[in-house]
Amino acid sequence: MKIGVVGLPNVGKSSLFNLLTHAHAQVAKFPFTTIDRNIGMVHVPDERLDRIVEILNPPKVKYAQIEFVDIAGLIQGASQGDGLGNKFLAHIRDVDLILHVLRCFSREDIPHTDDTIVPRRDYDIVRTELLLSDLIITERRIDKIKKRTECKEEHTQLQAIRESLSQGLVPEITVPDLPLLSVKREIIVLNMDEEGTFTSDIDGYRMSVKLEEDIVDFSDAERRELRIDAGVDERGLSGLITTCLQTLSIILFYTIKGEETRAWPITKGTKISDAAGMIHTDMKEGFIKAEVLGYDDFLDAQGFTAAQHAGKTHIEGKDYRVQDGDIILIRFRAK
């Protein structure tokens, strides 16, 4: 799963990316600072894993990670190739979720694409470019297949898609291998000023990149308080990451056997044999059964073995759908 940071130039995309990934992507006051995309992994903050580690004290711990991509800013006309145009759009194509960053801070020394800061208008500019780019590729596809009689059904569907797009609407249907951007899931991030004075005309996840930069070394309680004072979400970056996981229907399961205690991100509804395959292909191929313990039962018993003795673990076959928080022990035939 990949999450792309998208928006107009100079809205704080790379600054947000750096906060999330602890990378050092270039940040500057001029537009189009980012040209090539930056890619980085983000650790999913995880209080459950913190508690598991407190109880088990394993030698190694690994948090779940998700990939973030910081993409070049786009401007009006991007779909026609203006600004960094098509390059930007190509980079959005392979993300599963768009974090659409809107500038909600005014700073004279940091130029904006417009004289005024109007988040709703900025939102519409970017969305329009995505829709226009989709329209272009849909028309291209229509041109390509229109004479082929075997593609009649696809042709009808493509025309319906074109109709929606030309009205500025996200199409309700898609056809295979048509990489539309406007249909991608999206979270709006309002990059608020740190004083809490700006009033946004659009809703979204409220945070302040500048504030987060200033308070990295503060305690959790202090940070929460300062965020509340600034009128932003008190959970800060971790709330944003949680929102991303929820939007993507990603849940976490845990493995505790051996040296490493580890959290794994998977899509809700995944079968346990597929989850086992993420850990090791041998585990999927030689899967026999799994012993599963819910996180709350683990906590009650203060350990896996104690929970086993209390009869809290359950044995599951390969079709069991992994639940959020499951602690899993796979029994498999080694090759």
Ligand X SMILES: Nc1nc2c(ncn2[C@@H]2O[C@H](COP(=O)(O)OP(=O)(O)OP(=O)(O)O)[C@@H](O)[C@H]2O)c(=O)[nH]1
- Is residue 236 close enough to count as binding ligand X by CB under 6 A? no
**Binding to ligand X by residue 138, rule CB under 6 A?**
no
Stretch that binds ligand X, among 22-30, 135-143, 163-171, 325-333 (CB under 6 A): 22-30
Would you call 164 helix, strand, or coil by DSSP?
helix
What's the CA gap between 330 and 43, in Å, rounded? 24
What's the closest the beta carbon of residue 106 comes to Mg ion, in angstroms?
19
Binding partner at 105 among ligand X, Mg ion, none, C-beta below 5 to 8 Å by kind: ligand X
Considering only 14, 21, 113, 313, the residue that binds Mg ion (CB under 5 A) is 14
Shortest approach of Mg ion to residue 31 CB, angstroms? 9
Phi-psi region at 231: left, alpha or beta (left = phi > 0; alpha = psi -120 to 50): left
Give the one entry of ligand X, Mg ion, none that residue 206 binds, where binding means its C-beta sits below a cut-off of 5 to 8 angstroms depending on kind: none
Q: Which of 39, 110, 145, 329 binds ligand X (CB under 6 A)?
A: 110
Choose one: 29-37, 111-119, 150-158, 187-195; the region binding Mg ion (CB under 5 A).
29-37
Figure out which of the listed residues 18, 34, 133, 191 binds Mg ion, where binding follows CB under 5 A: 34
Q: Nearest-CA neighbor of 243 among 8, 20, 15, 14?
A: 20
Using alpha carbons, select from 132, 28, 130 the residue that is nearest to residue 88.
130
Compute the distance between CA of residue 101 and CA of residue 105 in angstroms, rounded to an integer. 12
Stretch that binds Mg ion, among 7-15, 40-48, 76-84, 169-177 (CB under 5 A): 7-15
**In the numeric block, which tokens belong to residue 45?**
């903050």
Number of residues that this document lists for the chain = 335
CB atoms closer than 10 angstroms to residue 30 = 9
Beta bridge partners of 148: none
Q: What residue ranges bind ligand X (CB under 6 A)?
A: 9-15, 27-29, 31-34, 73, 105, 107, 110, 191, 208-210
